[in-house]
Amino acid sequence: MSATRLNIRNKRARFEYHLEEVFTAGIVLTGTEIKSIRQSKASIMEAYCIASKGEVWIRNMFVNPYENGSFYNHQPRSDRKLLLNRKEIKRIEKFLKDKGNTIIPLNIFLSSKGWVKIEIACAKGKKLHDKRHDLKEKQDKIEIGRRLKG
């Protein structure tokens, strides 16, 4: 196992969406994909998940091609299968039937065994006034902290 911490996050997810339920899933990856992800050369900012035929897939996740890979290197934006149990897949499929619902990735991390895992969330998009309200609350907390401190 490597000593480096994996820190691949979707920083905009909590600002853009109301998160309802969070799942942890494994990802089916090839050798060069794993090596690139362990070097933190991946992005999930534009990624989203779909459910089809009893499987959940992540789309538009960018994994930079491995530098030392030969012609066996992977495609940077291919669909990747997520490993969830059947009950979780059924809940995700049921959630996606409603209009305006989506599944978004939150972060990628290494498990204690060294496996690459992804945290996904069932989410609903926020309206503009919801985003403004969140920003106002954040600014109010900062202001209260300043007044208590000084």
Domains and CATH numbers, the chain: 8-149 (2.40.280.10)
Q: What is the pTM of this model?
A: 0.79
Q: How does pLDDT run across 57-109, given as a tens digit for each residue?
A: 999 999 888 877 777 777 788 899 999 999 999 999 999 998 889 999 999 99
Q: Strand pairing partners for 121? A: 22, 104
Q: Is the dihedral of CA 60, 65, 69, 71 positive or negative?
A: positive
16: amino acid identity, one letter: E
d(CA 1, CA 36): 14
